Amino acid sequence: MLDPKLVRTRPVEVAEQLKRRGFQLDVSLVESLESRRKEIQVRTQQLQNERKVGSKKFGQLKAKGEDISELKAEMDRLAEEVKKAEAELNEVQAQWQDLMLGVPNIPHESVPEGETEDDNEEIRRWGEPKQLSFEPKDHEALAEKQGWMDFNSAAKLTGSRFIVLRGPIAKLHRALTQFMMNTHANEHDYEEIYVPYIVNDDTLKGTGQLPKFGEDLFKIEHDPDSGKDYYLIPTAEVPVTNMVRDEIVDADQLPMRFVCHSPCFRSEAGSAGRDTRGMIRQHQFDKVELLHIVKPDESFAALEELIGNAEKILQLLELPYRVVSLCGGDLGFGATKTYDIEVWLPGQNKYREISSCSNTLDFQARRMQARWRNPETGKPELLHTLNGSGLAVGRTLIAVLENYQDETGRVHIPKVLQPYMGGLEVIE
C-alpha cells in the first residue's frame, strides 16, 4: 500500500507516476474522500467538544440540585449526532481503505518506459545458445513420448494444466530442487524455511494478492472453526513475508534472508490459450523462493544481490540466459522495480522467463504493519521486502531437457546435478 499521506497531499503527482505503469488513479475520488474526511472529522471534534463542555455543566447543575432535564435532552441529542458523525467517518475511511488496497506501487525512476513485455530493457546476457546440428525438440516432445511426462493421467486425476512426472524426470525434478536449496542455504547464506501451503485472507492481503487478484487464487471455502476463508498459496512469498506481519523487528535481526521450496497454485485466470502445451504454464508447479527483509536504505543493494543469487543457479547449470528490467507497464502490482531472468529454450528458439526478482520497498510492509525499531530514534519504521525465484523448478527442468538433448533424444545430466542423480550421466 502506498503512503496514504503522500496520496492525500500529492494526488496529481502520484497519478502521473502511476500512469507509467498504465494505472489511472481517480484523483477526483481521492480529493472528494479527503474533503469529506476533513469535513466530518472537524464536525465530529466540534460535537465532542460540545459534549465535553455539556458534561461538565451537567455535573455542576446536578451537584446543585438544579433542573437538568433540558440539558440532558441536549446531551442525548449531541450523543446521537456524534454517533452519526463517527459512523460517517468510518464509512469514508473504509472507502479510502478499499481505494488504497487497489492502487499499485509507484515505479522506481530507473524503471524503463513502456506498456508491454516488448518494452522491457535487456541488462545483460550470460552464455551463448548452443548451435545444435539437428532440429531441437521441445520438452514435451522429448519427455512425453517416453512416458516421463504424463498429462493424460494428470487430466484424469485433476484436469488440464496439471502433470504427472515419472521415472528419471521425476528424479531430475527432485534433484534440481535439492541443488537449488543447498546452493542458496549453504553458499548464499539463506535461512531454509518450511511454511504452510494454505493461508488465510489476511495473509494474502498483506502481500497484495487480495482483494485485487482473488480470481487468480484457488479458494478453499471457510474454515468452520475460525470462519475465515483459506487459499492455496500462489508462491512461498506469501506465507514467508507475512511472518513479520504485525511485528517490530530488532535492528540486529536484519537483514532477514529466507529460502523456501514450495508448490505454487495459480488458477491462471485470463490466460486461456497461452502456453497450454507442456509445462510452461501450469496450475500447480514448484518453486524455490528467495526472500529479503531489510532496512530501507539497503533494499536496492539487496535487489542486486537477490538477482545475482538466482543467476548463479543457471551459471552452475551452464544454461544461457539474459536479464531484463521490466518496463512500467509490465511490473507486478506490488513491485517498484523488477528484474526478470529469461533462460534460453532451444525447442522454442527463444528466451523464456524463469525468475522474477522484485523490490516492493515498504508497499507490502505498510499493508502488513511490518516494522523494525531504528536504534538511532528508538521508533518503529516500516521494513522493506524483496522476493524472487531462485528458481522456478519446472521451467528449470524444461531448460535442462531442451539444452542438454542430443540428436538421438537422450538428455545429458549437467555435472552439478549428477551427484543428486546417483551419478547418472544420461537419461535415455
Catalytic residues: 266, 281, 353, 356, 395
Separation in Å, CA 129 to CA 9, 304, 314: 51, 24, 13
Q: Is 117 annotated as a binding residue?
A: no
Q: Is 389 annotated as a binding residue?
A: yes
Q: Is 268 annotated as a binding residue?
A: yes
Other beta carbons less than 10 A from residue 102's beta carbon: 13
Q: Is 236 annotated as a binding residue?
A: yes
How do 337-345 and 321-325 pair as beta strands?
antiparallel
Q: Is 74 annotated as a binding residue?
A: no
Q: Is 310 annotated as a binding residue?
A: no
Residues 297-302: contacts with CB under 8 Å, at least 24 apart: 298/254, 298/255, 298/384, 299/359, 299/361, 299/384, 299/386, 300/337, 300/359, 302/255, 302/359, 302/384, 302/386
Q: Is 356 annotated as a binding residue?
A: yes
Residue 334 C-alpha cell reads as 506490488
Residue 288 C-alpha cell reads as 524455490
Q: Measure CA 337 to chain center.
A: 13
Q: Is 247 annotated as a binding residue?
A: no
Residue type, 225: D
For residue 18, which of 118, 92, 111 has the smallest C-alpha distance?
Answer: 111
Instruction: Give the CB-side neighbour count of residue 94, counting CA atoms within 13 A.
Output: 6
How far is it, in rounded angstroms, from Cα 121 to Cα 196? 36
Q: Is 160 annotated as a binding residue?
A: no
Which residues sit in the known binding site for L-serine? 235-237, 266, 289, 387, 389
Sequence ranges of the binding site: 235-237, 266-268, 289, 353-356, 387, 389
Binding site per annotation, positions for ATP: 266-268, 353-356
